[in-house]
């Protein structure tokens, strides 16, 4: 059995970075893990604040793209993946109800469904659904969620 998540309002949408669960990091509140993740790609405090102040996760992502020439973390690099791990962990650690829900998925493979989106970055973080239990893509987000779930289950 597998879980596929795509949109925030769908059954497993809470797993995604766009889900509205604030994260406290370095004394500040980020409205979503997506905003924090995007902000972690920069060293310039002003850019981080522009991203953090966006009201929507997509707005934060779009603002981040405007400054891509000033990124210090290369997208899809080992450091980028580690930042994603940190963001996801903070989200679940700071929202115990989500941690409980994640642990309920024990033994189930998790995919981030990229839908009709194409491109290297989409297939890096998620996968295109081939069948209920098979996806085309590296599915790093799904892997991070499963790693975290397994860690929680061992506590």
Decide: helix, strand or coil at residue 144: helix
Cα gap 100→95, rounded to integer Å? 9
What number is the average pLDDT over the span 20-41?
A: 98
In the chain, the domains with their CATH numbers are: 2-154 (1.10.357.40)
Quick one: pLDDT band at residue 46, thresholds 50, 70, 90?
very high
Average pLDDT score, the chain: 97
**Strand, coil or helix: 111:** strand
pTM: 0.96
User: Would you place residue 34 in the very low, low, confident or very high pLDDT band (cuts 50, 70, 90)?
Assistant: very high
DSSP letter for 74, please: -
- The reported pLDDT for the residue numbered 32 is 98
Average pLDDT, integer, range 30-59: 98
Three-state DSSP string of 16-57 = CCCCCCCEEECCEEECCHHHHHHHCCCCCHHHHHHHHCCCCH
On the question of pLDDT at 118 being above 90, the answer is: no
């Amino acid at each position: 059995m597998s879980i596929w998540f795509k949109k925030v309002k769908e059954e497993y949408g809470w797993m995604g970075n766009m889900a509205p669960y604030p994260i406290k990091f370095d004394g500040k509140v980020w409205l979503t893990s997506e905003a924090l993740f995007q902000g972690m790609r920069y060293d310039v405090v002003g850019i981080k604040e522009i991203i953090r102040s966006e009201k929507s996760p997509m707005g934060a992502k779009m603002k981040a793209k405007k400054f891509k020439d000033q990124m210090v973390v290369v997208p899809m690099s080992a450091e980028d993946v580690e930042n994603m791990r940190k963001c996801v962990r903070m989200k679940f650690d700071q929202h115990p109800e989500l941690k409980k829900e994640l642990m309920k998925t024990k033994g189930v493979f998790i995919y981030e469904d990229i839908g009709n989106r194409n491109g290297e970055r989409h297939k890096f973080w998620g996968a295109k659904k081939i069948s209920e239990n098979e996806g085309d893509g590296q599915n790093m987000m799904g892997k991070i969620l499963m790693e975290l779930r397994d860690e929680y289950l061992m506590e």
